[in-house]
Amino acid sequence: MLAALLVGFLFFMSGGGGFAVELFAKGTQKAVTEVVADEARAAAAVEIVKQGRNDLENLSKRFEKIAKGFRAADEDQSAGLDALTPFMEQGIETRRQGQTDVLDRIFELRGTMTESEWETVLARLAEEK
């Protein structure tokens, strides 16, 4: 029960399924190549999208590892707060660092495009919803 709560907490706090997941999806690569006129900037933007997707996949794997450790520590559901707190602290720090990394990647992506290109890419992503 506690393990399920931790996994739910970490997923909720990490923003699973949010804007970053949509922004770093494969559909964004297509939109970028169609919208960004300069080939070098388009290639740089596509690489950032790929890196962002990889960052999110790695973040998910780190959360899975934390949850697995939490479940193992509380397998018989008798572990006390002292035994489980390190997993929660690790999850919180992982979430914090993951959010920082994602924000950095979003601003890096935004920096490769003109304002008009950025707005067009975002509009296309909104249309796909």
**The total number of structural domains that make up the chain:** 1
Reading the chain (129 residues) residue by residue, the pLDDT tens digits are: 445 445 555 544 444 458 888 899 989 999 999 999 999 999 999 999 999 999 999 999 998 999 899 888 887 777 788 888 898 899 999 989 999 999 999 999 999 999 999 999 999 988 887
C-alpha closest to that of 8 among 104, 95, 75, 83: 95
Q: What does the radius of gyration of the chain's CA atoms come to, in whole angstroms?
A: 18
Q: Is 101 exposed, middle or buried (0-12, 13-18, 19+ CB in 10 A)?
A: middle
pTM of the model: 0.79
**Residue 17's pLDDT is what?**
55
How big is the CA angle at 38 (ends 33 and 39), to the nearest 5 degrees? 60
Parent domain of 58: 2-128
**Residue 12's pLDDT is what?**
47
Q: Which amino acid is at 64?
A: E
**Residue 1's pLDDT is what?**
43
C-alpha closest to that of 109 among 63, 44, 38: 44
For residue 92, count other CB atoms closer than 10 A to its CB.
14
